[in-house]
Amino acid sequence: MKPIAIYGAGGLGREVLTIIEAINEQKPTWKFIGFFDDGVVGHNILGGLDALNEFQGSLYLVIALGSTALKENLVQKIANDNIQYATLIHPRATILSKAVVIGEGTIIGAGAVLTVDIEVGKHVLINLNATVGHDCKLGDYCSVMPGVNIAGAVVVGAKVLVGSGANILNGLHIGENVKIGSGAVVTKDIIDNNTVIGIPARPL
Protein backbone atom coordinates (compact mmCIF):
# COMPACT_ATOMS: atom_id res chain seq x y z
CA MET A 1 0.00 0.00 0.00
CA LYS A 2 1.19 3.50 -0.84
CA PRO A 3 1.73 6.03 1.98
CA ILE A 4 -0.58 9.02 1.76
CA ALA A 5 -1.10 12.15 3.83
CA ILE A 6 -3.63 14.96 3.69
CA TYR A 7 -2.74 18.64 4.00
CA GLY A 8 -5.66 20.25 5.80
CA ALA A 9 -7.06 18.74 8.99
CA GLY A 10 -10.41 20.52 9.04
CA GLY A 11 -13.80 19.23 7.96
CA LEU A 12 -12.82 18.87 4.31
CA GLY A 13 -9.71 16.93 5.33
CA ARG A 14 -11.81 14.50 7.33
CA GLU A 15 -14.15 14.10 4.36
CA VAL A 16 -11.18 13.36 2.11
CA LEU A 17 -10.06 10.71 4.58
CA THR A 18 -13.42 8.97 4.07
CA ILE A 19 -12.67 8.85 0.32
CA ILE A 20 -9.36 7.12 1.05
CA GLU A 21 -11.16 4.67 3.33
CA ALA A 22 -13.83 3.97 0.70
CA ILE A 23 -11.17 3.30 -1.93
CA ASN A 24 -9.39 0.92 0.44
CA GLU A 25 -12.63 -0.98 1.10
CA GLN A 26 -12.81 -1.83 -2.59
CA LYS A 27 -9.09 -2.39 -3.11
CA PRO A 28 -6.38 -1.79 -0.47
CA THR A 29 -4.40 1.04 -2.06
CA TRP A 30 -3.45 3.70 0.47
CA LYS A 31 -1.79 3.66 3.89
CA PHE A 32 -2.92 6.85 5.61
CA ILE A 33 -0.12 8.25 7.79
CA GLY A 34 -1.72 11.46 9.04
CA PHE A 35 -2.51 15.12 8.42
CA PHE A 36 -0.28 18.10 7.84
CA ASP A 37 -1.66 21.48 8.87
CA ASP A 38 -0.10 24.77 9.94
CA GLY A 39 -3.14 25.85 11.92
CA VAL A 40 -4.12 22.70 13.81
CA VAL A 41 -2.37 20.63 16.48
CA GLY A 42 -3.44 17.35 18.00
CA HIS A 43 -3.87 13.68 17.23
CA ASN A 44 -2.69 12.55 13.80
CA ILE A 45 -1.20 15.98 12.97
CA LEU A 46 2.33 15.47 11.66
CA GLY A 47 3.19 19.15 11.56
CA GLY A 48 2.91 21.98 9.09
CA LEU A 49 4.59 22.96 5.85
CA ASP A 50 8.08 22.80 7.34
CA ALA A 51 7.52 19.24 8.52
CA LEU A 52 6.11 18.33 5.11
CA ASN A 53 9.17 19.72 3.33
CA GLU A 54 11.44 17.79 5.70
CA PHE A 55 9.55 14.50 5.40
CA GLN A 56 11.83 11.60 4.57
CA GLY A 57 10.70 8.80 2.29
CA SER A 58 8.17 8.41 -0.47
CA LEU A 59 4.83 10.11 0.17
CA TYR A 60 1.64 10.80 -1.74
CA LEU A 61 -0.16 14.00 -0.75
CA VAL A 62 -3.61 15.42 -1.35
CA ILE A 63 -4.56 18.99 -0.44
CA ALA A 64 -7.88 19.34 1.37
CA LEU A 65 -8.36 23.10 1.24
CA GLY A 66 -11.45 24.74 -0.23
CA SER A 67 -9.73 28.08 -0.86
CA THR A 68 -8.39 28.15 -4.40
CA ALA A 69 -5.71 30.72 -3.59
CA LEU A 70 -4.47 28.79 -0.56
CA LYS A 71 -4.18 25.61 -2.63
CA GLU A 72 -2.04 27.33 -5.24
CA ASN A 73 0.08 29.09 -2.62
CA LEU A 74 0.73 25.84 -0.75
CA VAL A 75 1.76 23.89 -3.86
CA GLN A 76 4.21 26.64 -4.76
CA LYS A 77 5.80 26.35 -1.30
CA ILE A 78 6.14 22.57 -1.24
CA ALA A 79 9.76 21.77 -1.97
CA ASN A 80 10.20 18.07 -1.30
CA ASP A 81 11.14 15.80 -4.19
CA ASN A 82 9.82 12.78 -2.28
CA ILE A 83 6.23 14.02 -2.63
CA GLN A 84 3.83 12.99 -5.37
CA TYR A 85 0.23 14.17 -5.60
CA ALA A 86 -2.54 11.62 -5.34
CA THR A 87 -5.72 11.79 -7.40
CA LEU A 88 -8.69 10.51 -5.38
CA ILE A 89 -12.01 9.46 -6.91
CA HIS A 90 -14.69 8.16 -4.56
CA PRO A 91 -16.01 4.74 -5.64
CA ARG A 92 -19.52 6.21 -5.70
CA ALA A 93 -18.52 8.96 -8.13
CA THR A 94 -19.48 8.29 -11.75
CA ILE A 95 -17.12 8.88 -14.66
CA LEU A 96 -19.16 8.02 -17.75
CA SER A 97 -16.37 7.92 -20.32
CA LYS A 98 -12.69 7.16 -20.66
CA ALA A 99 -12.49 10.49 -22.47
CA VAL A 100 -12.28 12.34 -19.16
CA VAL A 101 -8.82 13.63 -18.25
CA ILE A 102 -8.22 14.31 -14.55
CA GLY A 103 -5.14 16.14 -13.30
CA GLU A 104 -2.92 15.16 -10.39
CA GLY A 105 -4.03 16.09 -6.90
CA THR A 106 -7.70 16.27 -7.87
CA ILE A 107 -10.41 15.07 -5.48
CA ILE A 108 -13.81 13.84 -6.69
CA GLY A 109 -16.43 13.16 -4.02
CA ALA A 110 -19.25 10.67 -3.70
CA GLY A 111 -22.19 11.20 -6.02
CA ALA A 112 -20.30 13.43 -8.44
CA VAL A 113 -20.98 12.76 -12.13
CA LEU A 114 -18.65 13.62 -15.01
CA THR A 115 -19.92 12.76 -18.48
CA VAL A 116 -17.73 12.82 -21.63
CA ASP A 117 -14.80 14.74 -23.16
CA ILE A 118 -13.97 16.65 -20.00
CA GLU A 119 -10.61 18.09 -18.94
CA VAL A 120 -10.06 18.64 -15.22
CA GLY A 121 -6.89 20.42 -14.12
CA LYS A 122 -4.57 19.84 -11.18
CA HIS A 123 -5.64 20.13 -7.53
CA VAL A 124 -9.33 20.53 -8.38
CA LEU A 125 -12.05 19.68 -5.87
CA ILE A 126 -15.34 18.34 -7.28
CA ASN A 127 -17.41 17.83 -4.18
CA LEU A 128 -20.45 15.72 -3.29
CA ASN A 129 -23.18 15.32 -5.95
CA ALA A 130 -21.72 17.90 -8.32
CA THR A 131 -22.22 17.31 -12.06
CA VAL A 132 -19.96 18.31 -14.94
CA GLY A 133 -21.34 18.06 -18.47
CA HIS A 134 -19.81 17.19 -21.82
CA ASP A 135 -16.85 19.12 -23.27
CA CYS A 136 -16.16 21.11 -20.10
CA LYS A 137 -12.73 22.31 -19.04
CA LEU A 138 -11.91 23.10 -15.40
CA GLY A 139 -8.67 24.95 -14.67
CA ASP A 140 -6.13 24.19 -11.97
CA TYR A 141 -7.02 24.74 -8.30
CA CYS A 142 -10.77 25.12 -8.84
CA SER A 143 -13.16 24.16 -6.04
CA VAL A 144 -16.62 22.98 -7.07
CA MET A 145 -18.79 22.66 -3.98
CA PRO A 146 -21.64 20.18 -3.27
CA GLY A 147 -24.63 20.10 -5.59
CA VAL A 148 -23.17 22.28 -8.32
CA ASN A 149 -24.36 21.71 -11.91
CA ILE A 150 -21.97 22.71 -14.69
CA ALA A 151 -23.71 22.22 -18.03
CA GLY A 152 -22.05 21.25 -21.30
CA ALA A 153 -19.16 23.03 -23.04
CA VAL A 154 -18.36 25.34 -20.13
CA VAL A 155 -14.79 26.60 -19.80
CA VAL A 156 -13.79 27.40 -16.22
CA GLY A 157 -10.53 29.23 -15.62
CA ALA A 158 -8.00 28.53 -12.89
CA LYS A 159 -8.75 29.22 -9.21
CA VAL A 160 -12.53 29.42 -9.57
CA LEU A 161 -14.70 28.74 -6.52
CA VAL A 162 -18.24 27.59 -7.32
CA GLY A 163 -20.48 27.71 -4.25
CA SER A 164 -22.87 24.96 -3.22
CA GLY A 165 -25.91 24.46 -5.44
CA ALA A 166 -24.83 26.91 -8.14
CA ASN A 167 -25.70 26.31 -11.79
CA ILE A 168 -23.61 27.33 -14.80
CA LEU A 169 -25.49 27.20 -18.11
CA ASN A 170 -24.24 25.74 -21.38
CA GLY A 171 -21.35 27.13 -23.35
CA LEU A 172 -20.22 29.83 -20.94
CA HIS A 173 -16.70 31.02 -20.21
CA ILE A 174 -15.75 31.66 -16.59
CA GLY A 175 -12.54 33.65 -16.14
CA GLU A 176 -9.76 33.00 -13.65
CA ASN A 177 -10.00 33.74 -9.93
CA VAL A 178 -13.80 34.00 -10.01
CA LYS A 179 -16.10 33.31 -7.06
CA ILE A 180 -19.66 32.15 -7.75
CA GLY A 181 -22.02 32.38 -4.80
CA SER A 182 -24.03 29.48 -3.44
CA GLY A 183 -27.26 28.93 -5.35
CA ALA A 184 -26.32 31.34 -8.14
CA VAL A 185 -27.46 30.72 -11.70
CA VAL A 186 -24.81 31.84 -14.16
CA THR A 187 -26.32 32.84 -17.52
CA LYS A 188 -23.50 34.96 -18.97
CA ASP A 189 -19.72 34.81 -19.26
CA ILE A 190 -17.76 36.10 -16.25
CA ILE A 191 -14.47 37.97 -16.64
CA ASP A 192 -11.43 37.38 -14.43
CA ASN A 193 -11.34 38.38 -10.75
CA ASN A 194 -15.08 38.77 -10.25
CA THR A 195 -17.51 37.62 -7.59
CA VAL A 196 -21.09 36.96 -8.71
CA ILE A 197 -24.24 36.07 -6.77
CA GLY A 198 -27.95 35.65 -7.32
CA ILE A 199 -30.43 34.49 -9.97
CA PRO A 200 -29.37 35.38 -12.56
CA ALA A 201 -25.85 35.84 -11.26
CA ARG A 202 -24.58 39.43 -11.18
CA PRO A 203 -21.34 41.00 -9.90
CA LEU A 204 -21.29 41.58 -6.16
Is pLDDT above 90 for 46? Answer: yes
What is the predicted pLDDT for the residue at 153? 98
C-alpha separations of 92 from 15, 95, 104, 156, 197 in Å: 14, 10, 19, 24, 30
Residues 120, 138 contacting (CB under 8 angstroms): yes
C-alpha separations of 111 from 19, 73, 91, 142 in Å: 12, 29, 9, 18
What is the rounded CA–CA span in Å between residue 110 and residue 46?
A: 27
Q: pLDDT by residue (tens digit) across 5-32?
A: 999 999 999 999 999 999 999 999 999 9
Ramachandran angles phi, psi of 190, nearest 5°: -125, 130
What is the predicted pLDDT for the residue at 42? 76
- pTM to 2 decimals? 0.96
* Strand ranges of the sheet holding 131-132, from the earlier edge strand across to the other edge: 94-95, 113-114, 131-132, 149-150, 167-168, 185-186
Q: pLDDT by residue (tens digit) across 150-198?
A: 999 999 999 999 999 999 999 999 999 999 999 999 999 999 999 999 9
Close Cβ partners of 176 (under 8 Å, ≥ 6 residues apart): 139, 157, 158, 159, 160, 192, 193
Tell me the β-bridge partners of 144. 126, 162
